[in-house]
Chain A
């Protein structure tokens, strides 16, 4: 049982280049998330998908786009990378508890360390 799998693990981009970070989960979770982690700032939500076919902006969406390809996969795209996007990116998923009206805990991937030069 792999859980949440992110690819790639490391990436170096030049300013202006584009790339897509891939994420897949095998736990049949409804909700998926993309966070970025920067020193002293904790995890900040970029985008999330509450269910297949829906996506919504989080706290820091500028410069990013997402696609919920199917229930398993949620990708994050940087169209024109900037040095400010140098960060560690985490994908996560969680199960929707319909009767309780909320999600349960999130399960995280191992992260993608992105450097934009």
Chain B
């Protein structure tokens, strides 16, 4: 069965610092992988997706993620955090038609 593990329920960074949010997946077949962002009291918005075309994926708002099959990872990074990046981030995996499976989320806190 497919699953996703997000390490760290909270990550704190200073404005301008590197953002690294970790995601590891488990899948018996090549996965499609996604990162979503959720701002307070809103729905989930797609940041980026991996669909096997390229291992380094660029998304919106300066975020990117690298698919590493050997490590079964899809970590999300941003070189320089901005106050507006403070939100909750979810990694998700899809391997078939049936459903998307989400991780438990990582709340990113950005301090001035």
Contact = CB atoms under 8 A, between A and B. Distances in A.
Contact of A101 (B6, B49, B96, B102): B96
Given A40-B104, A42-B105, A43-B90, A108 B43 contact: yes
Contact of B99 (A48, A105, A108, A109): A48
A104 B97 CA distance: 9
B102 A111 contact: no
Interface string A42-59: 111100101000001010
Interface residues of B, number: 27
A103 B44 contact: no
A104 B43 contact: no
B94 interface: yes
Contacts of B34: 105-106
B77 interface: no
Contacts, number: 68
Contact of B90 (A42, A50, A102): A42
A58 B51 CA distance: 24
Given A40-B9, A42-B90, A102 B97 contact: yes
Interface residues of A, number: 30
Interface string A15-52: 00000000000000001010100001111110010100
Nearest to B99: A48
10 contacts: A40-B9, A42-B102, A56-B98, A101-B97, A103-B96, A103-B97, A107-B46, A108-B45, A110-B42, A111-B42
